[in-house]
Chains A and B, each alone.
Chain A
Amino acid sequence: MAPLRDKFTIHSKAVVCQDVELKGDITIGSGTIVHPKATIFAIAGPIVIGTGCIIEESAIIVNRRKEVMRIGDDNLFEIGCRVESPTVGNFNTISTRARVHHTVRISSYCVIGAGCLVVPTEDEVLDEYTVIYGPAADRRTWSGRGKVQEADLRRKHAEYLRETLPKFNRLRRGEAHGHGA
């Protein structure tokens, strides 16, 4: 298939550092933060990222499918994780070095623990409040208690980064039509 033309739509209130690798058709919503050295590849279809997400260093987000990959609001992608899910809801946490295959759709309030591999061979949708943890990628359902506090913490985290990151990094500005390598 023909590779998508690079088209980056970055909201004016998003913080996307200069030193990120973007490829394909990518839309980044208001208040979302993309750390330097993060990678977002829209190989086959476009990627749309909502508001208030945090994408940390060397996180990799890939869309291998034709359809639009939609990532909701207030998600946290920690250092070195790799996500290929066609859809991601809101308030999810993908922990450090976790890996989520393109067969998994993530709903909301899910937590993929550090280093967990979620690579089922058949398509699957993670229910809300699913927690995957431990070396064997065990699953359980979170009661949801404490989610307001966590959401509050997430928002403060994003707010802090919005203030701090621009002081030390050059930013990409919105509507810039780059020329991919």
Chain B
Amino acid sequence: MSPSVDYHCHCLASNSAPPPPHLPSSSYSFHPLHELFFCEECDAVRCNRCVSVEVSGYYCPNCLFEVPSASVRAEKNRCARNCFMCPNCRNTLSVVPSDPPDMDDGRSPSAAVSAVGEPPFFLYCNHCRWDSAEVDITFEKPTGLAAQLQKYEDSAPDSLEFERLKEHFEPFLRASSSSALAGPPPTAHSHHPHVNPITAAASSALARDIPGVGKYTPHPRGRRDKGPRDDMVEYRSRVEVGGSSTMGEADVEFMRHIEEVSEVAALEQRWANSWATSLHTSDLKPLRIPLHSKKSKRCPTCRHILIKPEQKAQSVRYKIKLVAANYLPSIKVALPQPMDLVRRGAQAARPPGGEGNSGANGLHAGDTYPFTLSLTNPLYDPIQVRLSVQRQIPPASTTVASDAAPVEKSRRPPFAVSLPSSAFPIAAFAEAWEYEDDEDMFGVDDDEFGFEAREKEGKAKNKTVGVLEKRANVTVVGGEVVIGKDAKGEVKFNMLVSYTYRSDDPLPEDDVRGTPSRTKAPEMKTFSFYTVVNLGSIVPRQETKMDTDP
């Protein structure tokens, strides 16, 4: 696996510090940058686990028709136009006319095939050549096929049963909802601060008195409960349960006498059905294509929209798009290949034998590796970035009391990471043409001002730790990891990234860059976030010894 950087969203934790990276569960708190959102109001990162999702529109993926939500339910979440799916291979089906009556030689003159086509029409798969006439579905006209198919779907026993159940509960639901409205409003659930109307409606529907179902209330024996419960008529199903068990036996019988695998409909072929269907391949019916939805996402705390797609199904753009990639510097981590190491002269002490595969195939215990972090600034202002490795949280004394030694050992990472300790600048993002003239100037400026000290420090360490490269809005910094002699597992550490940016007040450009101290200027703001850096897994010591020692 190549080295990676994931970003922390603290929605799962009570405090903002991320969980230790060696815990398997920590991966749930970290996400790739492109999956994250950024709420401007809360000034915080949001992930797909914490945002609230709303459907902003339904459309058919085949004809791209936007279906009004009112008809979605009536049409059973499937396209009601001329879009059908092949039950055999799930390609889209086309409506074709029948062949003209057979000529004797089988080669009718081309004039005989008219453009209009003649009935009966049927659905035809261009991919696997399945056609609906195989299951006796043909149409007199090539229009309005979906309605005819839906009629067919609606006559499925499961569907009829479901309709009957709904009908059965309808009067009770209506009675109880009206009584709930008349009664005092349910206070237990309503004062949650951040509920949108839909979830509020849903939760009130869940909290509603359902006759015969116990309700969570401090005084459950209310007067209202008694009336409707007594009224409830026993539900009788259309088909007795015994009937379905004989169907099961029929299936068993069918499976016993099966001759070819293709006689049985595969799971994928039955998966898209709304209701349970028979196991026979010969019973597969064409399906109306299921609708897709476009969703918008809101911040869980302030309810502001983070991302909202354009209404039109054809459009792939967004009306609102607050993605974290536009706010946080993106970080890419890389372990330089051995060739680079040789050129830099950083690894003079490395045994030459182990060099060939180390960069690509993992990290060897007991070795020191440089790595690079390249940070890209998405903002239109230059930023100052400071990196630090997260301090390990001291283990709670109660948990380690008994078996202290092994636990202690696993908690302490078997490697040490050094990162540039002082802040470094990243130039502003701009359109590419702006850099053509300025690029050199930026470089010179930075070297002259804040970096002579670091240059020297860097040279002392063979220039692996510190700022390595600056161009456009990218700054590459180097770090180093020292891996313990008997280390194993993965080199994975949490890194705190703080960046200081200028909030709205404009200052002369040189002034800001000349004094890169974030404490001095009051209009500078700092934002911090955690990342987890995964450099790869450690190759245990024994193997490397075999390689290098003889």
Query: Which residues from chain A sit less than 8 Å from chain B, CB to CB?
Result: 111, 113, 131, 133-134, 138-140, 142-143, 145-149, 151-152, 155-156
* A152-B108, A152-B113, A156-B110 given; A146·B127 CB < 8 A: no
Ordered nearest first, which 7 A-B pairs have the shortest CB separation? A148-B99, A142-B129, A152-B113, A133-B128, A131-B129, A152-B110, A133-B127
The DSSP consensus for interface residues of chain B is loop
Q: Of A113, A148, A156, which is within 8 A of B127 by CB?
A: A113
Residue of A nearest to B133 (CB): A145
* A133-B128, A152-B113 given; A146·B108 CB < 8 A: no
Residues of B within 8 A of A131 (CB): 128-129
Is B37 interfacial (CB 8 A cutoff)?
A: no
In angstroms, Cα B89 to Cα A53, docked, is 28
Contact A140 B128 (CB under 8 A): yes
Contact A148 B134 (CB under 8 A): no
Chain B nearest CB: distance from A73 CB in Å?
Answer: 10
Residue of A nearest to B107 (CB): A151
Chain A nearest CB: distance from B93 CB in Å?
Answer: 12
Contact B127 A140 (CB under 8 A): no
In angstroms, Cα B108 to Cα A131, docked, is 24
Chain A nearest CB: distance from B284 CB in Å?
Answer: 12
Q: Name B498-550 residues within 8 Å CB distance of A.
A: none
In angstroms, Cα B134 to Cα A113, docked, is 20
Is B124 interfacial (CB 8 A cutoff)?
A: yes
In the complex, besides A140-B262, A143-B131, A148-B106, 11 extra interface pairs with C-beta distance below 8 angstroms are A133-B129, A139-B262, A140-B129, A143-B134, A145-B98, A145-B133, A146-B131, A149-B117, A151-B107, A152-B108, A152-B113
In angstroms, Cα B97 to Cα A147, docked, is 11
User: What string of 1s and 0s marks CB contacts (under 8 Å) between B222-251 and chain A?
Assistant: 000000000000000000000000000000
In angstroms, Cα B128 to Cα A138, docked, is 9
Chain A nearest CB: distance from B132 CB in Å?
Answer: 10
Contact A149 B133 (CB under 8 A): no
In angstroms, Cα B130 to Cα A155, docked, is 23
Query: Which residues from chain B sit less than 8 Å from chain A, CB to CB?
Result: 88-89, 96-100, 102, 106-108, 110, 113, 117, 122, 124, 127-131, 133-134, 262
In angstroms, Cα B261 to Cα A139, docked, is 12
* 21 A–B contacts, CB within 8 A, in A order: A131-B128, A133-B129, A138-B89, A138-B128, A138-B262, A140-B88, A140-B129, A143-B129, A143-B131, A145-B99, A145-B122, A145-B124, A146-B98, A146-B131, A147-B99, A148-B102, A148-B106, A148-B113, A151-B107, A152-B108, A156-B110
In angstroms, Cα B105 to Cα A12, docked, is 26
Residues of B within 8 A of A138 (CB): 89, 128, 262
* A133-B89, A134-B89, A140-B262 given; A149·B113 CB < 8 A: yes
| Highest count of chain A CB atoms <10 Å: which of B99, B107, B117 | B99
In angstroms, Cα B131 to Cα A147, docked, is 12
Residues of B within 8 A of A113 (CB): 127-128
Contact B110 A155 (CB under 8 A): yes
Residues of B within 8 A of A142 (CB): 129
Residue of B nearest to A132 (CB): B128
